[in-house]
A = this chain, B = another copy of it.
Amino acid sequence: MAVELQHLTKRSENYSQWYNDLVVKADLAEQSAVRGCMVIKPYGYAIWEKMQQQLDKMFKETGHQNAYFPLLIPKSFLSREAEHVEGFAKECAVVTHHRLMNDPNGAGVVVDPDARLEEELIIRPTSETIIWNTYKNWINSYRDLPILVNQWANVMRWEMRTRMFLRTAEFLWQEGHTAHATSEEAQEEAIRMLNVYGEFAEKYMAVPVVKGVKSANERFAGAIETYTIEAMMQDGKALQSGTSHFLGQNFAKAFDVTFVNKENKPEYVWATSWGVSTRLMGALIMTHSDDNGLVLPPHLAPIQVVIVPIYKNDEQRAAVSEKVMPIVDALRAKGISVKYDDADNRRPGFKFADYELKGVPVRLAIGARDLENGTVEVMRRDTLAKEIDKLDTIVERIPQLLEEIQDNIYRKALKKREEMTVKVDTWEEFKEAIEKGGFILAHWDGTPETEERIKAETKATIRCIPLDAPEEEGVDMLTGKPSHRRVIFARNY
């Protein structure tokens, strides 16, 4: 087999470099001319579109509608909510002028000093402030509630160190912003959307996640409670993959949003917000892929099946095509995305390597001898295993195989996570375990001070307190203070 395309760094050599290589070589994304901003290439964007479509469907099934709010936020809005400003006002893109002019000295265009804005505008790092300023006009009575709105948008955070998909200055995401008449309803909503994210990650991305609640240190700026789905990458580091926040009445108070409740009394509105972003692409890549390239879950693969004809002359090529086209049609009729690649300017071996790199779940190869024997060679990308199937039954076999692959890569990732999750009870064990990577279940005394001390010494943070963590009496590794359940520590992206 030709391997011209496969200049990937091996994971064992340098996991970080392998990731960067893969993003570029699999044609997912590339750096742009603007610091920290990436170009999402068509193949990468096609995966993101599949994610969007499924998530959007799930949001609508849970009663949400889409809307669109402005990109720019008045600077003063950020200051309204005390914690929010600390979290988001620091590193952001600031628009100060609204006009360029020709340089009087002839050096291209320059900022027109006369076009300074009265108040600077910030490119949204997240939209709670502009949205709650809008909701003020939408809400009078409990009859106007709940408001269940989602927005698909670009946002910007001026990150100092960026990595494609994982942490970029501009990224694409969805942000849900809901308004409720009661605290209970808002809390239920926050959990509902956490569960939607969990279901999406596990059933579509085939990425097992731990659902939990964040410690105070890791909470969203302005939230009462932040819920998270945490995934483990192959190198044992955690990737926060989606968050859902119970915001209490913080933003309602900051933007003076009240409603008349059923008892005819004014009350501040209760809120949630929740989001996932193109960061999910990073989770997808790093959970399943291998040294040959991407491994995509069939439920999100833009091309689920590729068929490559093997031929020596035009006659054979025509004979293969004649046999294959009805199979292509039959698979498409089942809703399967199929590419028949009979391009003449690339050899089969080159194609094989390319589709492996691109993570296409199933590859069929059919040659002249297969036509004689009524067979087809089937390769599954997850295991790279080949099987010889009958042409007559391949149309029935494929959907089953796609589900097998979807299931297998999920279970493989789950097994890996289980193997890399350890219980630790002493500080010495902890320091040793954290160097090996993975999730560490340990007792913690519940104080930010202890969490910060652990982070300072080991770079490990509390990823979450799992929602299903069993009660278990213990003592904090460092302080010896009592603890009632274990939390998950890990290094993270």
- Identify the A interface with B (CB < 8 A): 30, 32-34, 37-42, 45-46, 48-49, 65-79, 85, 89-101, 108-109, 111, 115, 120-123, 130, 133-134, 137, 143, 149, 153-154, 156, 158, 170, 172, 345
Q: Which residues of chain B have C-beta atoms less than 8 A from A45's C-beta?
A: 65-68
Task: Quote the shortest CB–CB distance from A298 to chain B (angstroms).
Answer: 20
Does B37 lie within 8 Å of A72, measured CB to CB?
yes
Q: A90-B99, A92-B99, A94-B100 are in contact. List 14 more A-B contacts (CB 8 A).
A: A39-B69, A40-B67, A42-B67, A45-B67, A45-B68, A46-B66, A75-B108, A92-B98, A93-B97, A94-B99, A95-B95, A98-B158, A123-B123, A154-B154
Q: How far apart are the CA atoms of A73 and B172 in the complex, in Å?
A: 17
* A95 with B69, Cβ < 8 A, contacts A78-B109, A79-B108, A345-B143 known: no
Q: Which residues of chain B have C-beta atoms less than 8 A from A30's C-beta?
A: 134, 137
Residue among A33, A97, A108 having the largest count of chain B Cβ atoms under 10 Å = A33
* A89 with B72, Cβ < 8 A, contacts A77-B33, A78-B100, A143-B345 known: no
- Residue pairs across A and B with Cβ atoms less than 8 A apart, 23 shown, are A30-B134, A33-B74, A34-B74, A37-B71, A37-B72, A40-B67, A40-B68, A45-B66, A45-B67, A49-B66, A68-B172, A70-B170, A71-B123, A72-B93, A75-B109, A75-B111, A78-B109, A93-B95, A93-B97, A94-B111, A95-B95, A96-B96, A99-B158
Chain B, Cβ-Cβ closest to A136? B33
Does A99 lie within 8 Å of B91, measured CB to CB?
yes
Chain B, Cβ-Cβ closest to A168? B70
Does A75 lie within 8 Å of B94, measured CB to CB?
no
Does B109 lie within 8 Å of A98, measured CB to CB?
no
Q: How far apart are the CA atoms of A71 and B154 in the complex, in Å?
A: 8
* A33 with B130, Cβ < 8 A, contacts A40-B68, A109-B79, A123-B95 known: yes
Does B134 lie within 8 Å of A170, measured CB to CB?
no
Chain B, Cβ-Cβ closest to A122? B100
